[in-house]
Amino acid sequence: MLTSLTHGDVVVFDTEWTSWPGFMESGWKQEGRYLEIIQIGAVRLDAADGFRETDSFQIVIRPERNPTLSEYIIELTGITQEAVDTHGLTFAEGLARFEAFLDRSPTRLLVWGVDHEVIARNCRLHAIAFPRRFEDTLNMHRGFVDMGLIGHECYSSDLPARFGLACAEPAHDALGDSRALASVLRHLRARGDL
């Protein structure tokens, strides 16, 4: 799976979504609360050139079902209520812009975890057709576990430290987390593991 990433463009993307204390532990199911994307970030990488970053993307999405962000998610992500109120797009607008970014060249999509499934969930929530391009997204977390590179518990923002790399990117920021994974891909390519 991971050894096939040798040529062409790949896009690493990440999402941040609404959350509250105990929401993850409840399986993202609490009455009146919805898992809504509030940020999408991505980096385009040239796989043939050691995963060099060639482009980036980041937008803020305004949640509709739960428009007021919890203090928990504000503290975790640094995304403020003012940011979503002032700069936030609707999910439909944000997804369209992300797809336009992806359309610039044929790409393989990579995530750390279930971000593509969160997009599917938000499409259902907003009655939008799920774009088929996300169906073949590679879950790099699963690949790294299968290769014995990490254990099961690891956030994308923790990856650089796990591999002894410095990372100046903010944690739990969609673009920052995308760049964190990209830095590890470059490291693994340089040492011959990818």
> pLDDT at position 3, please?
60
> pLDDT at position 148, please?
87
Q: 44-64, pLDDT tens digit by residue? A: 999 999 999 999 999 999 999
> pLDDT at position 2, please?
61
Please report, for the domain that includes residue 73, its CATH number. 3.30.420.10
> pLDDT at position 138, please?
94
Q: Where are the alpha helices (DSSP H) in the chain?
A: 71-77, 81-87, 91-102, 115-125, 140-146, 159-162, 174-190
Mean pLDDT of 64-79: 97
With a threshold of 0.85, does the pTM exceed it? yes
Q: 150-186, pLDDT tens digit by residue? A: 877 788 888 999 999 988 888 999 999 999 999 999 9
Task: Give the domain extent around 62.
Answer: 2-190
Q: How many structural domains compose the chain?
A: 1
Q: 107-159, pLDDT tens digit by residue? A: 899 999 999 999 999 999 999 999 999 999 999 999 899 888 887 778 888 89
In the predicted structure, residue 72 carries a pLDDT above the cut 70: yes
Exposure pattern of 91-125 as b/e (b: 16+ CB <10 Å)?
Answer: beebbeebeebbeeeebbbbbbbebbebbebbbee
In the predicted structure, residue 1 carries a pLDDT above the cut 60: no
Question: 96: which 2 tokens?
Answer: 């369209």
Q: 74-94, pLDDT tens digit by residue? A: 999 999 999 999 999 999 999
> pLDDT at position 55, please?
97
